[in-house]
Amino acid sequence: MKTSLLLTIALATAFSAPVLAQGAGATLRIDSGSAMVSTGGEFATAASGTQVRSGARIMLAEGSSATLVYPNGCTQPMRSAGVYGVPATCVAAGGAGGSNAAATAGVDLGGAAIISGVAVLGAAGLASMDDVDYVAPPPVSR
C-alpha cells in the first residue's frame, strides 16, 4: 500500500537526519597552549569549545595540544604543533584513549546507516509494487 511506503520513507528520513548531521563537524577542546582555526581564509584565534566544520584547518602553536570531539563521542587528539584538517568523520588513531571503538576499528557507522536506510527504502518500494488488488480472470468459454 502507498500508506506503508510513505510511513517507511518518513521513518527512514527521521532516523537518517542525525546520521547526516554527524558529519557536520566537531568541537575543539584546547588541552594546553593555543590554537587557531581557518575556514578557508586567514587563521583566527580559537577558544576551547569552538565548533569547527569539516574541511576547516586548525593550527597549533609550539607546545600546544588539542582534541577534536565529535557528536558521537569519538575523539581525535592533536598532540604537537602544526596544521590539522578537520575530517567529516572521526579518524582517531588506533588505541587512542577515549576514542570510540567503532572509529578505531575503521567502521564508518554513519555510512553504514545511510546504506542500510537506502536498502530498506528500496525493499519497501519493491514490496509495495505488488500491492494491487487481485482481479480474477474472466471464465473460459467452451
Q: What is the pLDDT of residues 17-55, one digit of tens each?
A: 544 444 468 999 999 999 999 988 899 999 999 999 988
pLDDT at 99: 43
Measured CA to CA, the distance from residue 46 to residue 85 in angstroms comes to 15
Looking at the chain, the whole-number percentage of residues with pLDDT higher than 90 is 32
Measured CA to CA, the distance from residue 130 to residue 124 in angstroms comes to 11
Measured CA to CA, the distance from residue 90 to residue 104 in angstroms comes to 9
Q: Which residue has the higher pLDDT, 106 or 6?
A: 6
Average pLDDT over the chain reads 76
Note if the pTM is more than 0.85: no
Contact (CB, 8 A) for 97 and 116: no
Work out the angle between the directed axes of helices 2-22 and 109-128 (0-180°, nearest 10). 170
